[in-house]
Amino acid sequence: MISLENVAMKLNGAQNIVITAHTNPDGDAIGSSLAMKHALESVGKRAKVVIDDKLPRHLSCLPDFDTIIRPPQTAEKIPCDIFLVLDTAPDRIGDTQKSFEGEMLNIDHHITNKGNPSCTYVDAKRAATAEIIYELLDIMQITLTKKIASCLYLGMATDTGFFKFANTTAFTMNAVANCLEAGVKPNEIAEFTEQKSYETVKTMAEAMNTLELFADGRAAGIFLNEELTKKAETTEGFIDQIRIIEGVDIAVLLKCNNARECRVSMRSKGANVAKIAESFGGGGHIRAAGATLNMGFYEAKSAIMAAITFALKG
């Protein structure tokens, strides 16, 4: 693994940086990427954020959100000095890697990122990649502007469930304090990101109706078939509503994209859900992980329920 000082040195020596993050991007992926873009631009470098997926609308309050592009479909790779991959190993960035060519650097906080020793920096103690970016900017002596701080704040807030999860540390809160000093207004960010349309809240009620307890009451799941998955424009926050059930360790949300593909997200209070996700080819953190299952709805539902039940017995 390379050091953060090494990352800082390489970025200092670069002019033209392409930043990317995982598909199905969350607040940390987008917040870290845009924070990095603003930071690099503030010291006179060129940076663009490229993400190979639709972007969640609830994050569109971030400065420069609308400058994020999809990878251009070109015959030849576009050269850049540094190709910076954030919040994931480079295997989850879609087609972005096919479009650009440059020295790769990879910064992540996922324990399942095994990394490439010549270009990866992983710190699984950090609640969010945004925390690592915060450390990196400190090393690079880049001043925290309100734009940078807003992006970092959102990354840390979303990955810690707004500072409620076990990954929240004193380091998180110190970094957050400095973001507030730089002008971030927590209420404005929370109001914007948590806002949902009337239709989404109605769909949430339908999703809640699929709630099932299993594994002797130690697991709870909501299971959205293809129709319900299509209807829900976002499922942001759904899983948090079942995490709170008394006696439940693992909460699971299953979404069915089509007859051959389902997406599963898990949250736990203690059990290692990264291990369960890995058994399906996915990954994540000990208490928050996910996987894509190449199965139809009913098959995926029984497979994930069986795996969770087994894990909680073991």
| Residues binding Mn ion (CB under 5 A) | 28, 87, 128-129, 159
Tally of residues, the chain: 314
| Least distance from Mn ion to the Cβ atom of residue 68, Å | 17
Amino acid identity of residue 285, one-letter, is: H
Q: Which is nearer to Mn ion, 124 or 139 (CB)?
A: 124
Other beta carbons within 10 angstroms of residue 67's beta carbon come to 11
Return the residue nearest Mn ion (CB atom): 28
**CA–CA dist 216, 277 (Å, integer):** 21
Q: Which is nearer to Mn ion, 108 or 249 (CB)?
A: 108
**CA–CA dist 248, 215 (Å, integer):** 9
Q: Which is nearer to Mn ion, 27 or 248 (CB)?
A: 27
Integer-rounded Cα radius of gyration of the chain: 19
Q: Which is nearer to Mn ion, 96 or 158 (CB)?
A: 158
Best CA proximity match to 266, nearest among 201, 311, 314, 206: 311
| Least distance from Mn ion to the Cβ atom of residue 127, Å | 8
Distances from the Cα of 43 to the Cαs of 9, 12, 15, 209, 247, in angstroms?
14, 9, 10, 51, 51
- What's the token pair of residue 33? 């990427």
| Least distance from Mn ion to the Cβ atom of residue 69, Å | 21
| Least distance from Mn ion to the Cβ atom of residue 33, Å | 11
Q: Which is nearer to Mn ion, 108 or 248 (CB)?
A: 108
| Least distance from Mn ion to the Cβ atom of residue 89, Å | 12
